A and B are shown apart, each in its own frame.
Chain A
Amino acid sequence: MTHLGYLIAGWGIALGTLSLFAVATVRRGRDLARRVPADRSRWLTSSDGGG
């Protein structure tokens, strides 16, 4: 396969950045969800059975 370094760099940077952004967003959401009272939280789920 030609240009393997470019392929790894391109796909790696893109998927890595999207993964980091996704993880950062989920973590931000978790931190905020802990601070916001349940009656003001919409769409959120928890391990105790919330939908």
Chain B
Amino acid sequence: MTQAIASPDVSTGSRGSRVLGVATLLGLATLLLFAFGPTEPDIRLHPTTGEEIGQFDAVRLLYLHVPLAVLMYVAFVLCAVASAGYLIRRTPWFDTMAHAAAEVGTVFCGLVLVTGSIWGRPVWNTWWEWGDVRLMTTLVLFLMFTGYLALRRATVDPRTAALRGAIVALVAVLDLPLVNRSVEWWENRTLHQKSTLEELKIQDLTLFTLMLGFLVFGLVLTWLLLHRFRVGWLEREDAEHGIASAIAERRAAIDEGDVDAAVGEGT
């Protein structure tokens, strides 16, 4: 029923998003260069045995894992803020933003779990530790936002989906402080170390590369959010336009006296 109306080359890109996209790609290339080039592997000497210990080159995974984790927080906080905004204002902008942030945040969260697991194998000698409170709270976060996305997909009425989604997002985001502070609150129940950034235990090129990681994956997050938001907005417009077109066709059929077409028979 709906037809191709706009130009076939139309996309969710704009001049601004294209500049952002190019900056993101250049940033990613620079980050890879620093992560695998001049930064040193993590090698220390054991104080008593003199044996070489540390993460060795596996530390290069942290230039990816840590920024993804922090930006996952950003995406989920944005989702929660937009969800609260929807509950207060009930405008589609807030709902579309919340949905976009939840989807991008869930992708980041999944990658945090996977890259953490890959890093943990050589450093902790395990892919996964069920007793680790940070791993478990992050897994719970991932499952809750996967549930959020499934709930939205399963609910037909957009207003009901938006309302239910907003409530689930505000509940799910309560897990974020647990994920973030778990290494402080339950330090005996996690393999994770406390924040090295807060205590500035890393310096120079390692710190610079980590900061570059935050910047670059921040650009990735922004670019993805921008496009995902526009896709969400288009989905809403498409649904509304489809309904409006169907009503217009029915009215036209009634005006022409074609009752069968107006009630949907023979179409």
Instruction: Given A3-B122, A29-B11, A33-B12, decide whether A13 and B114 contact each other with a Cβ distance below 8 A.
Output: yes
Q: How far is the CB of A11 from chain B (nearest CB, A)?
A: 6
With a cutoff of 8 Å between Cβ atoms, the chain A residues found around residue B28 in the complex are 15
Interface Cβ pair total, 8 Å cutoff: 150
Number of interface residues of A (CB under 8 A): 39
B194 sits at the interface (CB 8 A)? no
With a cutoff of 8 Å between Cβ atoms, the chain B residues found around residue A4 in the complex are 57
Interface string of B229-260 (1 = CB under 8 A from A): 01101110110110000000000000000000
Interface positions of A from 6 to 51, Cβ below 8 Å from B: 6-7, 9-11, 13-15, 17-18, 21-22, 25-26, 28-30, 32-38, 40-48, 50-51
Q: Which of A2, A11, A44, A48 contacts B11 (CB 8 A)?
A: A44
B115 sits at the interface (CB 8 A)? yes
Instruction: Given A29-B231, A36-B238, decide whether A6 and B224 contact each other with a Cβ distance below 8 A.
Output: no
User: Is chain A's binding surface mostly helix, strand, loop or mixed?
Assistant: helix
In the complex, what distance in Å separates the CA atom of A37 from the CA atom of B68? 37
B170 sits at the interface (CB 8 A)? no
Instruction: Given A17-B107, A26-B227, A45-B11, decide whether A38 and B6 contact each other with a Cβ distance below 8 A.
Output: yes
Other contacts beyond A10-B61, A21-B224, A43-B14: 20, CB < 8 A = A1-B57, A2-B58, A6-B122, A10-B118, A11-B35, A14-B114, A22-B224, A25-B12, A25-B224, A29-B231, A32-B231, A33-B6, A33-B12, A33-B234, A35-B5, A36-B238, A40-B240, A40-B241, A43-B230, A44-B11
Chain B contact residues, CB within 8 Å of chain A: 2-15, 28, 32, 35-36, 41, 56-58, 60-61, 64-65, 68, 104, 107, 110-111, 114-115, 118-119, 121-122, 220, 223-224, 227-228, 230-231, 233-235, 237-238, 240-241
Sample 29 A-B pairs with CB under 8 A, ordered by A number: A2-B57, A3-B57, A6-B61, A10-B115, A10-B118, A18-B220, A18-B224, A25-B12, A25-B227, A26-B227, A29-B11, A30-B10, A32-B235, A33-B6, A33-B12, A34-B6, A36-B241, A38-B5, A38-B7, A41-B234, A41-B237, A43-B230, A44-B11, A44-B14, A45-B13, A45-B14, A45-B15, A48-B9, A51-B15
